[in-house]
């Protein structure tokens, strides 16, 4: 018998599981990452592996672009570079994969997750609202480190938005992140690849093995992330008017110079 371990406990199997999601139910009803009670030899190599959502050695699985795209299309989770730090993500429309991102990061499922797109056209996959202000912001600052809160379409899972009905989206300036979105054919979750409360990293070798264990592997292609501040986050409050929700590389001065009004 097999069950799926989720962030809210165990739930019955409702789909074919990825190998990284398999957990055995033992004869006495117990569940363990490394084997049934009384049968420690069930996974003979367990003592050499990092226990987590996925069983693997501590060395991250390195992926090429083709493999990373295949994993994303099959509902897996992947670490990849962005302009600032390595991110961990999946399809923005796959509820089960999004749950695995929360599990890998050990992050509360009530918190929303940001999304990146590979082109302006992919914005229409996330929102049905055609906002002139959003389009002007995109003209001025995309690709770049500006995230915009937009009204999520019905296709966007509520777990991604933290039940807010809005999603933060940016067109990343990192060529690998953009290519990954375009090749996968969907916007991607893009949250820092770190255990919650721990620092993010600009190097694949700096990724926490516990986090990597919950993913399909690491896409490590140049250019390397440059670190720095997370993207500036803004919300639209009126025509040509925004409120800065989070300060970042795109400054208030830059927004004013581009013709936008800033609400406190």
Domain 57-263 classification at class level: alpha beta
Predicted confidence at residue 2, as pLDDT, reads 33
> Coil, strand, or helix at residue 254?
helix
Distance (Å, rounded) from C-alpha 92 to C-alpha 157? Answer: 8
Torsion on CA atoms 14, 125, 196, 77, rounded to nearest 10: 50
Predicted confidence at residue 189, as pLDDT, reads 98
In Å, how far are 2, 125, 137, 168 from 153, measured between CA atoms?
34, 8, 20, 13
> Coil, strand, or helix at residue 116?
strand
pLDDT at 40 over 50: no
In this prediction, residue 6 has a pLDDT band, given cuts at 50, 70 and 90, of very low
Q: On the CB side of 123, how many CA atoms lie within 13 Å of its CA? A: 22
Q: Specify the pTM.
A: 0.77
Strands 4-6 and 232-238, by their bridges, are unpaired
pLDDT at 244 over 60: yes
Distance (Å, rounded) from C-alpha 82 to C-alpha 230? Answer: 11
Predicted confidence at residue 96, as pLDDT, reads 96
Predicted confidence at residue 109, as pLDDT, reads 77
Q: What are the structural domain ranges in the chain?
A: 1-48, 57-263
Q: What is the pLDDT of residues 164-178, one digit of tens each?
A: 999 999 999 999 999
Q: Cβ contacts of residue 88 below 8 Å, gap of 6+?
A: 77, 78, 79, 80, 101, 104, 105, 189, 191, 192, 193, 211, 215
């Amino acid at each position: 018998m097999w069950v799926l371990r989720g962030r809210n406990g165990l739930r019955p199997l409702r789909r074919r599981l990825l190998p990284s999601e398999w957990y055995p139910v033992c004869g006495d009803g117990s569940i363990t990452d490394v084997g049934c009670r009384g049968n420690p030899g069930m996974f003979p190599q367990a003592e050499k592996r990092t226990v987590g959502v996925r069983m693997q050695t501590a060395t991250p699985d390195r992926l090429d672009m083709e493999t990373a795209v295949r994993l994303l299309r099959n509902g897996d989770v992947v670490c990849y570079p962005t302009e600032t730090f390595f991110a961990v993500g999946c399809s923005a429309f796959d509820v089960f994969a999004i749950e695995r991102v929360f599990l890998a990061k050990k992050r509360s499922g009530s918190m929303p997750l940001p999304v990146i797109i590979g082109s302006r056209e992919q914005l229409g996959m996330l929102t049905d609202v055609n906002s002139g202000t959003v389009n002007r912001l995109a003209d001025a600052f995309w690709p770049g480190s500006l995230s915009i809160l937009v009204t999520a379409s019905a296709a966007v899972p509520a777990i991604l938005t933290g039940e807010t009905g809005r999603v933060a989206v940016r067109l990343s300036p990192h060529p690998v992140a953009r290519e990954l979105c375009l090749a996968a054919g969907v916007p991607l979750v893009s949250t820092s690849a770190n255990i919650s409360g721990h620092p993010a990293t600009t190097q694949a070798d700096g990724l926490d093995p516990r986090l990597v264990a919950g993913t399909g592997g690491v896409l490590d292609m140049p250019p390397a992330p440059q670190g720095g501040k997370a993207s500036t986050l803004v919300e639209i409050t009126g025509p040509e008017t925004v409120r800065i929700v989070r300060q970042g590389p795109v400054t208030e001065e830059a927004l004013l110079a581009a013709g936008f009004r800033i609400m406190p």
